[in-house]
Structure 1
């Protein structure tokens, strides 16, 4: 019998070699040194660990980490998984595993901003060429080069949640001899399945929805069998590992992933619908909304949405967005998302995009809708809108009559 993903997540990753009953959760194995019965056994294990997953030294993982790797592999539908200290470390190791100096990687304009900084800094300094393509993937054919080794995808994209046609992008890349890596942090394995859509590598910031409680940092990378060897060798070369305690926390978080995402979705859709009726709002970014330009692709490729949505204000006053966020009481002001709490941050899209023109659009307010009561969150947003009600009047007194921003 084939069970659904939430059911499999509730039962996956239970490993125990101890005689007797089996614990519901695997034990936390804290170890650096691993002992062997003989020199011959140690020699054999070291000879095999390049391709087999073996408990030979703490930097190569341990049974707790292996249990989490198995859960992520099942969640992503891949061949094998490796764990990294952060989501950014996972992204960096993906690029360094497959792209060499003198080669080229394509990154989407909607990419997580620290990856943009990595491209413009470290990668460029070490001879790895990068270009950014439109978030919808429409200009990928024109930007592919003979030396392009990797096409990196983020769908839905950071901040504005643009979708690209991943199967089409993957077909182009593969015909060109390039691999495809997808940042699947938004989809978290349940909502989006990049490896099923043609990607070779799927990475996630487990810091977000997989952990789910804002108390752990981690990144995961799951690959197809053909892409595994290069990632594994690079991770070993850089000594990449995570603590068993962190692995245990993420594994515990994954157990409730399906239930949490369902609640995040329900509340986020309610908030998005409420924001659509607010006269202060110019545009909402949420691909689950029927009038979002990415909705058709979202319907085709995604299996629901999460707690993220963004919007811009009609007000042209520079202080409006900042005062709005400062006035929120239940929404914390902080980086990250995917935990149980609601968050709000401002995003300067002129810095976060280089292909798409954003200069005439206001600052984006990104919300993560947590697990609080949705009525309480709406009341908090209501009082924040009240706090900016007089801004345009004040700005008009200073600058002359106000011209309403277009509803784009």
Structure 2
């Protein structure tokens, strides 16, 4: 669907302006139109009988969806891509595609909690068992394989605690044993981490975050290498899990500026993270680009950048009452659980309540921060005032 099928020699910011559109097919308009619909009209009886059409019915997709699929496939260096109405949607789709009844699945202990819930509440009903592993296990994951292990799931970094696993080492073990790897790459996107080039079979993310960029859509994206693409596409078609046309249109629009927004998010988040590291109220900053974050060496070796999400650990003397005073009085940061948009967010979390093979004992209250596009000094001033309330009311 794109007029630039071979732009791989161009730099990423240029590629993002070209992918998923073809003005020559759009009467000269720069952006592709939104196609909505269910019914496809055929011209001949033979066409109907053979389902001879690029899109045989609305559940087979549309030009709008295909534009985004083709663009993402090129960006990710994949064999193909499909979309779903949310990030958790493509997680479920990917796990369905790579497992069957009687299989065993390995999942990192730091994984996004809805992924964990899907394994325990849905996959378990169909006879798929799940074991959890230390995200920093690296090549040692080979000792955890079972005869029926069919897939290893990775998250880089962990969604709250920000461990960066040794992706190539885990992928190499999986490949050696004919096991599929599925990775949640939402934090870095293909701009900062080329998952397929590091041995990952399926790379997924919530396009809700940095692809959309404006907190106004829900979308999931998963790309597959050539070997895994047929199974992924077949599962997708059987489930009919299509995103809305308007969400795909907004995602294509977000793609044009994604590189610029990611670079700015990286700059701002690093400035805030380094400032927080010097604050007396903070005992630890969990940011993959900082040397004391677990797996920093893996990040430095494999990643091309960092995005705008990280966590902090407060010192042990602070109380929930003080934390409530800190958070409820903020005027620039808002409390919320998403990220990747233009607005800065902050949210408390506690990994200890659900981890099963690793211990989460940070020594103090923990907060996850999403750094948006507000002025950095305003963000610092807002946090500074919040820290004063924290100390006063603890």
Same fold (TM over 0.5): yes
Task: Give yes or no for the alignment of 1:30 onto 2:36.
Answer: yes
* CA–CA separation in structure 1 for the residues paired with 2:109 and 2:276: 26
Shift of 1:99: 0.4
Deviations 1:244-287 (A, max 9, x none): 11100011011100100111111101101110111110111001
Query: 1:96 is matched with which residue?
Result: 96
SS at match of 2:186: coil
Within the candidate set 378, 385, 389, 1:383 is matched to 385
Task: Give yes or no for the alignment of 1:5 onto 2:12.
Answer: yes
Query: 2:315 is matched with which residue?
Result: 314
Q: Is the deviation greater in 345-354 or in 64-73? A: 345-354
Shift of 1:179: 0.5
Shift of 1:327: 2.6
* CA–CA separation in structure 2 for the residues paired with 1:156 and 1:378: 25
Conserved? CA contact 2:162–2:293, under 8 Å: no
Query: 2:130 is matched with which residue?
Result: 130
Query: 2:273 is matched with which residue?
Result: 272
Shift of 1:75: 1.6
Within the candidate set 328, 337, 340, 1:338 is matched to 340
Shift of 1:56: 1.5
Q: Is the deviation greater in 109-118 or in 36-45? A: 36-45
* CA–CA separation in structure 2 for the residues paired with 1:230 and 1:361: 44
Conserved? CA contact 1:15–1:67, under 8 Å: no
Conserved? CA contact 1:332–1:342, under 8 Å: yes
Tell me the matched-pair count: 385
Query: 2:357 is matched with which residue?
Result: 355
Shift of 1:311: 0.4
Shift of 1:167: 1.0
Query: 2:121 is matched with which residue?
Result: 121
Shift of 1:93: 0.7
Shift of 1:6: 1.4
Shift of 1:235: 1.1
Query: 2:109 is matched with which residue?
Result: 109
Shift of 1:290: 2.8
Query: 1:399 is matched with which residue?
Result: none
Check 1:289–1:195 CA distance in 2 against 1; reply closer, same or farther (3 A cut).
Answer: same
Conserved? CA contact 2:316–2:365, under 8 Å: no
* CA–CA separation in structure 1 for the residues paired with 2:296 and 2:25: 50
* CA–CA separation in structure 2 for the residues paired with 1:355 and 1:34: 51
Deviations 1:89-139 (A, max 9, x none): 100010111101110111111111100111121111221100111111344
* CA–CA separation in structure 1 for the residues paired with 2:259 and 2:107: 30
Conserved? CA contact 2:207–2:218, under 8 Å: yes
* CA–CA separation in structure 1 for the residues paired with 2:302 and 2:91: 22
Conserved? CA contact 1:322–1:346, under 8 Å: no
Conserved? CA contact 1:150–1:178, under 8 Å: yes
Shift of 1:360: 5.8
Give the aligned CA root-mean-square deviation in angstroms: 1.6
* CA–CA separation in structure 1 for the residues paired with 2:365 and 2:191: 30
Within the candidate set 48, 69, 94, 1:42 is matched to 48
Runs of 4 or more off by more than 4 Å in structure 1?
A: 16-19
Deviations 1:118-175 (A, max 9, x none): 1121111221100111111344122111100001111111112111111110110111
Shift of 1:57: 1.0
1:193-232 alignment to 2 at 5 Å?
Answer: 193-232=194-233
Deviations 1:31-53 (A, max 9, x none): 1101011121133335xx8xxxx
* CA–CA separation in structure 1 for the residues paired with 2:49 and 2:324: 61
Shift of 1:389: 1.5
* CA–CA separation in structure 1 for the residues paired with 2:300 and 2:178: 29
Shift of 1:18: 4.3
Q: List alignment gaps of at least 5 residues for structure 1.
A: 393-408
SS at match of 1:336: coil
Shift of 1:362: 2.6
Shift of 1:352: 4.3
Conserved? CA contact 2:318–2:364, under 8 Å: no
Shift of 1:324: 2.5
**TM-score, L = length of structure 2:** 0.94
Conserved? CA contact 1:321–1:365, under 8 Å: no
Conserved? CA contact 1:99–1:128, under 8 Å: yes
